[in-house]
Chains A and B, each alone.
Chain A
Amino acid sequence: MEMRTIIEKKSTDIEPPDLLLVRHPTVQAFVDKKVAQARESLKNVNLSFLQKNQHPVK
């Protein structure tokens, strides 16, 4: 998993924003809606395919 090192502060000319790991209520409300949609969509999804295909769903 060598690619992971990219998250450590990499010195480039572009600095990522530093205040934005806090979720603004407008962002959280948007995401909550997306999660509710996804939960509804996934309610009846059959997971047997994943279990048969290598992924050990826990």
Chain B
Amino acid sequence: MTVPPYPFLVSENQLTFAFESVSPERVIIKQVLYDQINDIYYNLALVDVMPDGRLADDVVSDNQDLPKVIATVLQTMFVFFDEYPDKLIYFQGSDAVRTRFYRIIIDRELNKVRELFLIYGRKPDNSLEEFISNSVYVGFVFALKS
């Protein structure tokens, strides 16, 4: 069953997105942020923010809604690519554990995601390859499938 995304807001330049992650226990405000790295790449960051907009310090919020959050981030990618179709989205974890976590998520969602995007893994030797399950990567690149 496909998990529906959360509704979200998007800025005019289609680089900043906001939505609420909702569980019976709490509501967490999240932003999905795209920032230009260079002529080709945009960095993707997902952050939790306080009601006043400040960055929330607790890095792992775990609101028991990860599939829904991922579905929402994927939707923001569509909106991003609508405005920037020739660019690439890049993200990496803040450490090896986090990067491995991202790899597992991509792995799990791979069939669905591959229908929509070209996915590449950046290997420790700095080369790129098409994403392969269970491979070791230090970063990930998403491109719009034409």
Contact = CB atoms under 8 A, between A and B. Distances in A.
B127 A49 contact: yes
Interface string A36-58: 01110110111101100111111
B82 interface: yes
A16 B8 contact: yes
Interface residues of B, number: 55
B70 interface: no
Interface string A13-50: 01111111111101101111011011101101111011
B53 A39 contact: no
B113 interface: no
B32 to A, nearest CB: 11
Most chain A CB atoms below 10 A, which of B9, B51, B139, B146: B9
Given A30-B47, A42-B37, 9 more contacts: A6-B5, A16-B8, A17-B51, A21-B17, A34-B45, A35-B36, A41-B139, A42-B122, A50-B143
Interface of B: 5-11, 16-20, 22, 29, 31, 33, 35-41, 43, 45, 47, 49, 51-55, 75, 78-79, 82, 86, 88, 90-92, 94, 118, 120, 122, 126-130, 138-139, 141, 143, 146
26 contacts: A6-B7, A7-B8, A7-B75, A9-B7, A10-B7, A14-B6, A14-B7, A15-B7, A16-B6, A16-B9, A17-B19, A18-B9, A21-B10, A24-B49, A24-B55, A27-B47, A27-B49, A27-B53, A30-B55, A34-B43, A34-B45, A38-B91, A38-B139, A45-B128, A46-B128, A58-B40
